[in-house]
Chains A and B, each alone.
Chain A
Amino acid sequence: MSHEAALHNHEGHGHDDHGHHEHHDTFLTKYVFSQDHKMIAKQFLITGMVWAVLGGLMSVLFRLQLGYPDASFPWLESILGKWAKGGQITPEAYYALVTTHGTVLVFFVLTAGLSGTFANFLIPLQIGARDMASPFLNMLSYWFFFTASIVMLSSLFVETGPFSGGWTAYPPLSALHDASPGSKTGMDLWIIAMALFVVSSLLGGLNYIATILNMRTKGMSMTRLPLTIWALFFTAVLGVLSFPVLLSGMILLIFDRNFGTSFYLSDIYVNGVGALSNEGGSAILFQHLFWFLGHPEVYIILLPAMGMVSEIMSVNSRKPIFGYMAMLGSLFAIAILAFLVWAHHMFVTGLNPFLGSVFVLLTLLIAVPSAIKVFNWLTTLWRGNVRFTPAMLFAIGFVSLFISGGLTGIWLGNAALDIYLHDSYFVVAHFHIVMGVASMFGMFAGVYHWFPKMYGRYLNNSLGYIHFWITMAGAYLIFWPMHYQGLAGMPRRYFDFSIWESFKQFAELNRFISTIAMIVFATQILFLINFFYSIFKGRKVTVLNPWEANTLEWTTPIRPGHGNWPGEIPEVHRWPYDYGKDGHDFIPQTTPVGENETGTH
């Protein structure tokens, strides 16, 4: 470790209790119950990656069924046992896979894995803080997530199977033990895992907000924050305000399931059981509670990716992000609107048509801040000096996917079209592109960009390029044709289409999509190999600031210890986007404003 190199950047090494203090860390306190935000970030990242592999593998399995509904794969039976009798996935297993894939990817990978990793890693480093406001709560946040993961994982091994009613868990299907085998013990474990997850997310979120508001270094005013931090701030606010609503919905569901209440149940006759005594509840109530989280959740997933893409684009275009205040304003607008559009998931539930029309208006309004962001990213590229690092490629890929998926949102947000396209493959294509793959691209961009800071080594560039181009092409090959399936009315969550005269014409296309999905999944394994190999054997980082970026994290030593800066925390004198200004390629935030400098942003 070259602390000396770092110290050249600062004048004087004022005595700081944290900086020079040597911790005597044991293995347990350094790698397991660590309170260092950087280690916690890595824990979130690697747990998220484990879940991403599991969730991805699940999608490969159910794509196998969709692509080859008549074929039998004996090896499936040896992996899945009774869930793939005779080598063919059963409907129960199919629905369990679809449900777990959705839950895991949305919550465990793209929420915990994405904002858990980068909020933890970047907030203290980019605002100039030694650690989070409460490192202990931060540690708890990870361990609640870990416990949630274990409970969710254990639900896969229950005899009646994991929950299989879709990741949205609509009652009565999720509330009635006898409505589906997956609604028995599997559902109880699912709810417990989700409740633990909410706790984890709240502990994390409160910490992020407190840290950003209180612990910025000298000179780091709110409008000098990198856009990553702004995005992570709004993400945390969304999470803190909306996750409790989901928790309340879940608690009512537990009561309905186990204690005989009727919050969501009324007028029900279950085959083989008879009429239930529950009366007076509303099944739609749960959907309101769920989507009050569920829609902000989409932005909880998307905003961190947007923030990182803004930062990475600016650095690699060697040009300031265009319209910093507009970017910030649009983030704010998206965050507010996120709370006012939840019922667009419910246009066809029998919602009052007038209420529906209000939600149409508010939903389509989101396109305005989204358009501002896209045009600002484009203008950031314009007349820049673009360096195609793998991180930059993924950032460009993100923008492309965000455009493609965002535009179909305009279709679905219009109730009169949703009444046709709702719950079809059009929706599957839309949200996978705009939320799933796009955010995944944001996450990859972040990993490629900050890996040198995380581990003091580089990822292999060529593998990064191969990873990007195959994934990018694959994402479009998989999801673009799904729009056509949606326009044929093909419903999502169907185990088999062969009995449907209206939908069976896509058998060949389904096979094609499944094949591409497998290739793309294999390519992600390539990324994992690159990731873990490079942690130990990658090319070493030898300069403090490999990307020649302005933000504070690059003023720390190559392998920063707990406390981040060995000396005093640097002071900030300018915004983070002075690239190409007055003939300088870049001017770090720590550089004081020169006398002859032209006006700041």
Chain B
Amino acid sequence: MSLYLSVAIIVLIFVVIFQIAKASEYVSILKGEEASRQQNNKINGFLMVAFLVLGFVGIYVCNKVYYGKTQMAQGAASIQGEKVDEMLFVTLIITGIVFVITQVLLFWFAYKYQEDKNRKVFFFAHSTKLELIWTAIPAIALTVLVVFGLRNWFFFTGEPPKNAMVVEVTGKQFGWIFRYPGKDAIFGKKYYKNIDPATNSVGIIWDDKYAQDDILMEQTMYVVKGTPIKLILGSRDVIHDVGLTHFRLKMDAVPGIPTTMWFTPIYTTKEMREKTGNPNFSYEISCDQMCGNGHYSMKGIIEVVDQEEYDLWMAKQKPQYFTAFPEKDPSSVPVAAKVDSTTKATTAKM
């Protein structure tokens, strides 16, 4: 009902606008082409300046309302992020100056030079000097931005420091799997045909001697504040992308082709909660590459903690090998067996 009503209203508005436009056409014919053109020029010339002024007011208001909601206001949470933010501001200033100058000139010229019978137009077809000037100035400004940008780019994509902690991240439809190399600090080999969603979600080759202490986690990853973290990215199915908004980085996770990224977090999750005043704050990993119908819900969490807390957490983790082969768990064979039987019992009941 309300649909029909709103359609009817829209149609009515169209009819009214159309009739007014039709009428104004008849009026302009009566007035003569010359006179009506002059009137239109006046109105539109005024609107040009009005648009320019209102536009700048709009930009001011928009910035006032929304700047606080961007990441810029919150500040970056990694040393890479601080460089990105710094570069964003430099780029903003350079492009902002060009924006203001060119838009003002455009709308001002349009207003100022609207048709006037008494003005003789200036036949000005070209000027090598002017054209050279506005080739050279953008070229110089861009050189600055390129140099600045590439210095950061090579830093971001370069080798991480030697003390970096390494974590493997695997995307799947629709979630994240994290693998820690365990005590030996070396990842066991993997092959995708070994993947078993229940016990071996990334396809670890268990015979590899480095594999047996590898630790697998889903959805949440722990990293240490102040320690560089190197991520080795991969995907099990389609292309995903590890988007780390707060650290200002992202990198695709591609099936079959490992990629890497690294960053150094500078605030723990707790510190960030205080800094932002948001008790629910968490470092979210967003998937930034279209990966299917669940794309929008493919969320991971990074917990940034200090070394002490990390060590405590790590001590509690059990290598995935013992989940896959509970009978081989040396520390708690009987417990594991018991857990196993209860799980079986509940499964049977279900």
Contact A173 B280 (CB under 8 A): no
In the assembled complex, A424 has its CB within 8 A of some CB on chain B: yes
CA distance A358 to B281 in the complex (A): 38
Taken residue by residue from 453 to 485, chain A's Cβ proximity to chain B (1 for < 8 Å, 0 otherwise) reads as: 000000011110110010011001100110010
B residues adjacent to A (C-beta < 8 A): 3, 10, 14, 17-18, 20-22, 24-25, 28-29, 37, 40-41, 43-45, 47-48, 51, 55, 58-59, 62-63, 66-67, 69-72, 81, 83-84, 87-88, 91, 94-95, 98-99, 102-103, 105-107, 109-110, 113-116, 119-127, 130-131, 134-135, 137-139, 142, 145-146, 149-150, 152-154, 156-158, 172-173, 192-193, 195, 197, 203, 233, 236-239, 241, 243, 245-246, 248-252, 254-260, 278, 280-282, 284, 286-297, 299
A378 B157 Cβ-Cβ under 8 A? no
Quick one: which of B106, B236, B259, B280 contacts A381, CB cutoff 8 A? B106
Complexed CA–CA distance, A268 and B256 (Å):
8
Q: Given A410-B142, A580-B120, decide whether A92 and B250 contact each other with a Cβ distance below 8 A.
A: no
By a CB distance below 8 angstroms, the chain A residues around B114 are 385-388
B307 to chain A, nearest CB (A): 26
Report the bound CA distance from A465 to B25 in whole Å: 12
A489 contacts across to B, CB distance below 8 A: 71, 243, 245-246, 286
Closest partner residue, chain B, to A271 (CB atom):
B173
Contacting residues, chain A, for B120 (C-beta < 8 A) = 580, 583
Of A181, A317, A416, A462, which contacts B113 at CB under 8 A?
Answer: A317
Query: Chain A nearest CB: distance from B202 CB in Å?
Result: 9
Given A462-B25, A463-B17: A266 and B256 interface contact (C-beta under 8 Å): yes
CB of B343 to closest CB in A, whole Å: 22
A385-B288 contact in complex given A283-B254, A356-B157, A423-B250, C-beta closer than 8 Å: no
CB-defined A-B contacts under 8 Å, sample of 25? A91-B294, A164-B293, A170-B238, A173-B290, A179-B238, A269-B195, A269-B237, A350-B251, A356-B153, A361-B150, A364-B146, A367-B142, A377-B106, A384-B121, A384-B122, A388-B40, A388-B114, A400-B106, A415-B149, A466-B21, A487-B72, A489-B245, A497-B296, A503-B286, A529-B18
Find chain A residues with CB under 8 A from B88 CB: 411, 417, 420, 487
Select which of A367, A372, A495 is within 8 A of B295 by beta carbon: A495
- A367 engages B293 (CB within 8 Å): no
Q: Please, which residues of chain A bring their CB within 8 A of the CB of B152?
A: 416
Across the interface, which residues of B come within 8 angstroms of A31, CB to CB? none
The 6 closest A-B pairs by CB, nearest first: A489-B245, A266-B256, A350-B259, A580-B121, A388-B44, A416-B152
For residue A415, give the distance in angstroms from its CB to the closest CB of chain B.
Answer: 5
Task: Find chain A residues with CB under 8 A from B258 CB.
Answer: 350
Taking Cβ atoms with an 8 Å cutoff, the residues of A that contact B are 75, 91-92, 95, 164-166, 168, 170-173, 176, 179-181, 265-271, 275, 279, 281-284, 317-326, 348-350, 353, 356-357, 360-361, 364-365, 367-368, 371-372, 374-379, 381-388, 393, 396, 399-400, 403-404, 407-408, 410-411, 414-417, 419-420, 422-424, 460-463, 465-466, 469, 472-473, 476-477, 480-481, 484, 487-489, 491, 493-497, 499-503, 505-506, 509, 522, 525-526, 529-530, 533, 539, 577, 579-583, 601
Please name 13 further chain A to chain B contacts, defined as beta carbons within 8 Å, in addition to the given A320-B123, A481-B66, A601-B125, sorted by A numbering. A91-B296, A170-B290, A173-B238, A320-B125, A364-B142, A375-B134, A383-B122, A411-B91, A422-B250, A462-B21, A484-B70, A491-B288, A495-B296
Chain B residue at minimum C-beta to C-beta distance from A167? B290
Q: Select one of A166, A371, A462 contacting B24, CB under 8 A.
A: A462
Shortest CB distance B111–A (Å): 9
CB within 8 Å for A400 and B107 given contacts A179-B292, A322-B126, A387-B41: yes
Closest to B27 in A: A462
- Asked if A487 and B47 make an inter-chain contact with CB atoms under 8 angstroms apart, the answer reads no
Check A414–B102 contact: CB distance below 8 A.
no
Contact B102 A393 (CB under 8 A): no
Contacts of B135 in A (CB 8 A): 368, 371-372
> Complex Cα distance A119/B297, Å?
44
Q: Which residues of A contact B297 (CB under 8 A)?
A: 496, 499
Q: Is the interface of B mostly helix, strand, loop or mixed?
A: helix
CB pair A319–B121 under 8 Å, yes or no, is yes
* A360–B151 CA distance with the chains assembled, in angstroms: 12
| Chain B: minimal CB distance from A342 (Å) | 16
Q: Which residues of B contact A279 (CB under 8 A)?
A: 256
Asked whether, in the complex, the Cβ of A379 is within 8 Å of the Cβ of B124, the reply is: yes
| Alpha-carbon gap, A509 to B29, bound state (A) | 44
Q: Give which listed residue, B51, B94, B254, B293, contacts A180 with CB less than 8 A.
A: B293
- In the bound complex, CA of A367 to CA of B91 (Å): 14
Are A270 and B47 touching (Cβ within 8 A)? Answer: no
Cβ-defined contact, A368 with B138, below 8 A: yes
Distance between Cα atoms of A473 and B127 in the complex (Å):
34
CB distance A525 to B14 under 8 Å?
A: yes
**Cβ–Cβ contact A410 & B95, under 8 A:** yes
Pick from A319, A396, A420: contact of B124, CB under 8 Å:
A319
Distance, CA A385 to CA B257, complexed state (A): 60
Contact B256 A282 (CB under 8 A): yes
Assuming the contacts A179-B173, A349-B252, A411-B95, asked whether A465 and B293 have C-beta atoms less than 8 A apart, the reply is no
**Contacts of A91 on B, CB cut-off 8 Å?**
293-294, 296
**Is there an interface contact between B173 and A460, defined as CB atoms closer than 8 Å?**
no
CB distance from B85 to the nearest CB of A (A): 9
Taking a contact as CB atoms under 8 Å apart, the answer to whether B22 and A460 are in contact is yes
B286 touches A176 (CB 8 A): no
Contacts of B119 in A (CB 8 A): 383, 385
Contact A324 B109 (CB under 8 A): no
Q: Is the CB of A500 within 8 A of B286?
A: yes
Q: Given A269-B236, A326-B126, A472-B51, does the pair A371, B17 have CB atoms closer than 8 Å?
A: no
Query: Is A350's CB under 8 angstroms from B254's CB?
Result: yes
Measured between alpha carbons, how far is A367 from B88 in the docked complex, in Å?
18
Interface pair B250/A414, CB less than 8 Å apart: no
- Establish whether residues B146 and A414, one from each chain, have CB atoms under 8 Å apart when the complex forms: yes
Q: How far is the CB of A472 from chain B (nearest CB, A)?
A: 7
Asked, given contacts A360-B150, A403-B106, A601-B125, whether A173 binds B296 with beta carbons under 8 Å apart, the answer is: no
Q: Which residue of B lies closest to A286 (CB)?
A: B239
A532 CB to closest chain B CB (Å) equals 12
Contact B138 A480 (CB under 8 A): no
Instruction: State A472–B48 Cα separation when bound (angstroms).
Output: 11
Q: Which residues of B contact A265 (CB under 8 A)?
A: 255-256
Q: Give Cα A317 to B106, complex, Å.
A: 13
Residues in A with CB closer than 8 Å to B113 are 317, 381-386
Cβ–Cβ contact B51 & A502, under 8 A = no
* Chain B residues whose CB sits within 8 angstroms of the CB of A171 once the complex forms: 238
User: Per a CB cutoff under 8 Å, which of B99, B195, B249 touches A420?
Assistant: B249
Q: A385-B116, A487-B70 are in contact. Are A176 and B237 (CB under 8 A)?
A: yes
- The CA-CA distance from A377 to B339 in the complex, in Å, is 76
Min CB distance, B302 to chain A, in Å? Answer: 12
Contact yes or no, A419 B248, CB < 8 A: yes
Chain B minimum-CB-distance residue to A376: B131
What's the Cα separation between A239 and B248 when bound, in Å? 36
CB distance from A586 to the nearest CB of B (A): 10
Complex CA gap A263/B41 in Å reads: 59
A176 touches B238 (CB 8 A): yes
Chain A residues with CB below 8 A from B121, complex form: 317-319, 383-385, 579-580
Residues of B within 8 A of A266 (CB): 255-257
Query: In the complex, which residues of chain B have a beta carbon less than 8 angstroms from the beta carbon of A422?
Result: 250, 288
Report the minimal beta-carbon distance from A116 to chain B, rounded to whole angstroms: 28
- Cβ of A68 to closest chain B Cβ, rounded Å: 14
Select from chain A the residue with minimum beta-carbon distance to B105.
A378
Q: Which residues of B contact A317 (CB under 8 A)?
A: 113, 121
Tell whether, in the assembled complex, residue A487 and residue B71 are in contact, meaning their CB atoms are under 8 Å apart.
yes
Residues of B within 8 A of A494 (CB): 295-296
- A315: shortest Cβ distance to chain B, in Å? 12
